[in-house]
């Protein structure tokens, strides 16, 4: 150490700060992954373990934990394919049944093949749906009493793969009771804005009326359409808003046949193109049908059009991936898959009993919540009493009776249509009210009793929600993510949060999958965490967290898609998808700093720092570490440069353990930055106050 050196303590502001450049954010931490701050000091966050060995069908979309009336811990998980219950260490599929049918002489098998063909007139299934068979048999004693994913052959037939091969050839044999589960939902959203509109970011054209121009051939999937000057090319999209049945069975607005959005597979000429149905036509039709369609076409660069790979400004079309809302009415589980009805499950029934429909509830609802204190079930963006769906409708059940939704003099049931925005995104149960988020406005919904039952107050505009799970209540305060900012309800007014990583988050987010954003609370550390899909991912693969208590922001990588606080179990519970497999996880159990036993990386990097105003060169030759390190080591790297956009010179990494006193090196530049990262399995570390020996090294 030179006699001219000074020992400089490196104390940076808590949280990650990157609203500006790494040079301009001097005095801050600039980048990181899987870190949090406690008492203004960074440390790595704990790891995770699988809670169960089994996997889930689909990707987690909502997660709920609770204790039933006998204090047994329960957990419900909804995916785009199924609804699950975790109970006594076991996972049970309780997906509701939409229809049951008795099948006789309906099965066909081929020797040494697992393929089973089934005949069922107008089964209404789509490929990817699930069927459960009970009391099943065929003449060869080949049994398949289980649940299977089906592939549709035609309107009256489908197939599935059994777990074992058939012993002989059979045709029109056997019997079973088939239970068709509610249809599997989409795993990926399609939207007419941003980068999800189409392969070439389609421009939406004026609706086209197609009258007697649709052609299909029996037992084929091709649907050819005559439309003069359609302007479509292969891989463009056609969206059917209305349609009549063609070919005896094909309804182009129905998801059973692949609708309402189809991709063009052939453009024969300027006036004819072809799309494919998911189901074969039952009959041949020529010059038939009546439909209204929107053509979404790829366009080249011009003054009026966008260039390739530029986002569409709008199209008025948005289809989100399937999603669930789960809540409790006492110990009873209530569940709603977006756009469907309301289902119930009783813990006393056990995992062998499936959830069943609440028959008098709205036939279609986008989300719901059980109101605080007064016990009304409140549906949002749902069908009204007449059965017509309204995206801004709030409709609630009778008090203490979610089977009664009919307004009357003896019932507190009712409904109210909001005015702000175009649709309701979410309802957040908070202290003495429900915070309702449309895509533009925040409302407060409070129980007032008869005659109006609830009052509705507009609390903020330009602060709409981003998804049906994008907000949460934290200690009686609603917090949520909007399309370009984070917000909190501060008393009776909305306040925008001062987020130090806002640009970083919103510049790296998949705008076609905003509906998957999920917000959760970690009460142990007083944190609110948002899970979101980065720009190159269709599923949540990153997180951003805000500490309400210490007011800092951090972000990082994650595999989580849902999140539930440690109110029932001993730690945060999540669902996560890794290598295409979805499981339930214990997140941050005490003492665990690995990912399922494997190394779990974490790091933190500072912004640039210098001496004085940054004109002088600095010379650094010694590090004096002050860190708490358990089980392993942390690597230290220092980088220097002469100008903000100059070339970086790297020294390190140098390994630091709990017993390391000093680290010697030689580095020179006008600015420097440091990075700390763990490089061993199971390492726990906490930053104290690192010090560097630094001296002025002139102006050159």
Residue 541: the pLDDT is 97
Strand order of the sheet with strand 48-50? 48-50, 581-587, 572-578, 560-564
Tokens 């602060």 sit at which residue? 463
| Same domain (yes/no): 577, 436 | yes
Residue 456 lies in a domain: yes
Do residue 127 and residue 270 come from a single domain? no
Query: Across the strands, what pairs with 664?
Result: 622
Helical H segments across 515-640, by residue range: none
Distant-in-sequence, close-in-space partners of 130: CB < 8 Å, separation ≥ 6: 81, 82, 95, 147, 148, 149, 150, 180, 181, 184
Helix (H, G, I), strand (E, B) or coil at 349: helix
242 inside domain: yes
Q: Answer with the one of 586, 611, 628 that is the final residue of a domain.
A: 586
| Domain count for the chain | 4
Residue 440 within any structural domain of the chain: yes
In a domain, 535, yes or no: yes
Query: Distances in Å between the alpha carbon of 470 and those of 314, 390, 483, 563?
Result: 22, 21, 10, 11
537 and 564 housed in the same domain: yes
Q: Check whether 300 has a pLDDT greater than 80.
A: no
Neighbouring C-alpha atoms within 13 Å toward the C-beta of 159: 12
Q: Are residues 402 and 551 in the same domain?
A: yes
Let me know if residue 287 belongs to a domain.
yes
pLDDT band at 599 (very low <50, low <70, confident <90, very high): very high
* Residue in 443, 405, 447 with CA at minimum distance from that of residue 424: 443
**Distance in angstroms (rounded) separating the CA atoms of residues 298 and 308:** 8
Q: State the CB neighbour count (10 A cutoff) for residue 286.
A: 12
Q: Are residues 560 and 606 in the same domain?
A: no
- Dihedral pair phi/psi, residue 515, rounded to 5°: -65, -15
Residue appearing with tokens 């006789």: 104
Q: Is residue 40 part of a domain?
A: yes
Question: Is residue 552 domain-shared with residue 465, that is, in the same domain?
Answer: yes
Residue among 345, 445, 313 at smallest CA distance from 392? 445
pLDDT for res 257: 83
Last residue of a domain, one of 260, 286, 318: 318
Give yes or no for residue 367 having a pLDDT over 80: yes
* The model's pTM: 0.82
pLDDT tens per residue, range 260-283? 888 888 888 889 999 988 888 889
Does 76 map to a domain?
A: no
Percent of the chain's residues with pLDDT above 70 = 91
Domain with residue 102: its CATH number is 2.40.30.20
Q: What is the pLDDT of residue 201?
A: 42
pLDDT beyond 50 at 383: yes
Dihedral of CA atoms 338, 340, 344, 345 in degrees, nearest 10, equals -70
| Same domain, residue pair 522 and 484 | yes
The last residue of a domain, from among 551, 586, 621: 586
- Alpha-carbon distance 160 to 321, whole Å? 25
Q: Are residues 427 and 568 in the same domain?
A: yes
Structure confidence by residue, pLDDT tens digits, 387-415: 888 999 999 999 999 999 999 999 999 99
Q: What 3 state SS string does 410-426 have?
A: CCCCEEEECCCCCCEEE
404 and 498 part of one domain: yes
What is the β-pairing status of strands 28-33 and 493-496? unpaired
Question: What is the rounded CA–CA span in Å between residue 16 and residue 29?
Answer: 5
Same domain, 135 and 152: yes
Averaged confidence pLDDT in the chain: 89
Residues 411 and 511 in one domain: yes
Q: Which stretches of 318-449 are assigned E, i.e. beta strand?
A: 318-319, 324-329, 332-337, 342-345, 356-357, 367-370, 377-380, 393-396, 414-417, 424-430, 433-438, 441-449
CATH number at residue 17: 2.60.120
Q: How many Å apart are CA 588 and CA 585, to the nearest integer?
A: 9
The SS3 assignment for 201 reads coil
pLDDT at 145 over 70: no
Point out which residues pair with 64 in neighbouring strands: 76
> Tens digits of per-residue pLDDT, 455-510?
999 999 999 999 999 999 999 999 999 999 999 999 889 999 999 999 999 999 99
Locate all alpha helices (DSSP H) within 533-637, ordered by sequence.
Answer: none
**How far apart are the C-alpha atoms of 647 and 653, rounded to whole Å?**
18
* pLDDT top residue among 227 and 140: 227
Judging by beta carbons within 10 Å of its beta carbon (0-12, 13-18, 19+), is residue 161 exposed, middle or buried? middle
Instruction: Give a yes or no: residue 51 inside a domain.
Output: no
Q: Which domain holds residue 38?
A: 6-45+601-696
Q: What is the 3-state secondary structure (H, E, C) of 459-520?
A: EEECCCCCCCECEEEECCEEEEECCCCEEEEECCEEEECCCCCHHHHHCCCCHHHHHHCEEE
Residue 585 pairs in a beta bridge with 50, 574
CATH of the domain at 401: 2.130.10.10
Place of tokens 């050819």: 224
Q: Is the alpha carbon torsion for 404, 408, 414, 415 positive or negative? A: positive
Q: Which 8-state DSSP code applies to residue 388? A: -
pLDDT of residue 143: 58
161 in the same domain as 144: yes
């Amino acid at each position: 150490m030179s006699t001219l050196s000074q020992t400089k303590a490196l104390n940076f502001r808590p949280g990650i700060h990157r609203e500006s450049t790494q040079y301009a954010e001097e005095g801050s931490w600039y980048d990181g992954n899987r870190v949090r701050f406690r008492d203004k000091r960074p440390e790595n966050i704990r790891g995770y373990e699988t809670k169960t060995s089994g996997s889930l069908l689909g990707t987690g979309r909502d997660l709920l934990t609770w204790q039933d009336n006998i204090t047994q811990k329960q957990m419900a998980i909804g995916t785009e394919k199924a609804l699950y219950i975790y109970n006594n260490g076991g996972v049970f599929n309780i997906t509701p049944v939409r229809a049951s049918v008795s099948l006789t002489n309906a099965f066909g098998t081929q020797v040494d093949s697992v393929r089973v063909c089934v005949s069922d007139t107008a089964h209404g299934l789509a490929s990817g749906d699930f069927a459960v068979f009970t009391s099943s048999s065929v003449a060869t004693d080949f049994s398949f009493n289980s649940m299977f994913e089906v592939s549709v052959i035609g309107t009256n037939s489908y197939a599935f793969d059994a777990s074992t091969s058939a012993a002989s050839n059979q045709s029109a044999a056997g019997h079973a009771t088939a239970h068709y589960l509610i249809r599997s939902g989409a795993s990926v959203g399609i939207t007419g804005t941003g980068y999800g509109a189409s392969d070439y970011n389609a421009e939406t054209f004026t609706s086209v009326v197609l009258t007697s121009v649709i052609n299909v051939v029996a037992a084929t999937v091709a649907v050819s359409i005559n439309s003069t000057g359609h302007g479509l090319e292969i891989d463009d999209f056609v969206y059917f808003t209305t349609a009549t049945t063609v070919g005896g069975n094909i309804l182009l607005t129905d998801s059973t046949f692949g609708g309402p959005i189809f991709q063009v597979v052939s453009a024969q000429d300027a006036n004819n193109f072809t799309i494919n149905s998911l189901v074969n036509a039952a009959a041949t039709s020529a010059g038939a049908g009546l439909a209204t369609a929107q053509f979404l076409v790829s366009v080249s660069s011009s003054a009026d059009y966008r260039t390739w790979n530029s986002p569409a400004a709008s199209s008025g079309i948005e289809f989100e991936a399937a999603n669930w809302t789960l809540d409790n009415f006492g110990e009873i589980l209530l569940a709603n898959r977006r756009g469907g009805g309301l289902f119930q499950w009783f813990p006393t029934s056990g995992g062998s009993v499936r959830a069943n429909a609440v028959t008098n509830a709205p036939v279609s609802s986008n989300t719901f919540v059980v109101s605080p204190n007064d016990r009304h079930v409140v549906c949002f963006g749902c069908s009204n009493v007449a059965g017509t769906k309204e995206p801004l409708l709030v409709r609630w059940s009778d008090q203490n009776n979610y089977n009664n939704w009919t307004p009357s003099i003896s019932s507190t049931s009712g409904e109210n249509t909001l005015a702000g925005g175009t649709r309701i995104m979410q309802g957040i149960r908070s202290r003495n009210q429900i915070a309702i988020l449309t895509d533009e406005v925040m409302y407060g919904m409070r129980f007032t009793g008869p005659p109006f039952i609830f009052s509705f107050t507009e609390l903020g505009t330009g602060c709409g929600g981003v998804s049906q799970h994008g907000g949460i209540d934290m200690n009686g305060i609603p917090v949520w993510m909007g399309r370009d900012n984070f917000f909190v309800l501060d008393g009776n007014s909305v306040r925008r949060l001062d987020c130090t990583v806002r640009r970083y988050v919103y510049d790296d987010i998949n705008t076609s999958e905003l509906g998957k954003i999920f917000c959760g609370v970690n009460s142990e550390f007083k944190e609110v965490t948002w899970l979101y899909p980065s720009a190159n991912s269709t599923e949540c693969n990153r997180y951003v967290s805000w500490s309400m208590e210490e007011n800092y922001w951090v972000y990082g990588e994650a595999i989580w898609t849902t999140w539930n606080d440690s109110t029932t179990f001993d730690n945060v519970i999540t669902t996560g998808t890794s290598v295409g497999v979805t499981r339930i996880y214990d997140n941050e159990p005490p003492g665990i700093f690995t990912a399922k036993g494997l190394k779990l990386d974490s790091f933190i990097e500072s912004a640039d720092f210098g001496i004085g105003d940054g004109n002088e060169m600095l010379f650094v030759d010694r590090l004096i570490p002050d860190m708490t390190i358990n089980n392993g080591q942390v690597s230290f790297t220092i980088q220097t440069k002469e100008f903000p956009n100059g070339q970086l010179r790297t020294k390190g990494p140098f390994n630091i353990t709990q017993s390391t006193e000093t680290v010697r090196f030689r580095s020179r530049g006008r600015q420097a930055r440091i990075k700390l990262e763990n490089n061993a399995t199971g390492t726990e570390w906490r930053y104290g106050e690192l010090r560097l020996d630094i001296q002025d090294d002139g102006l050159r």
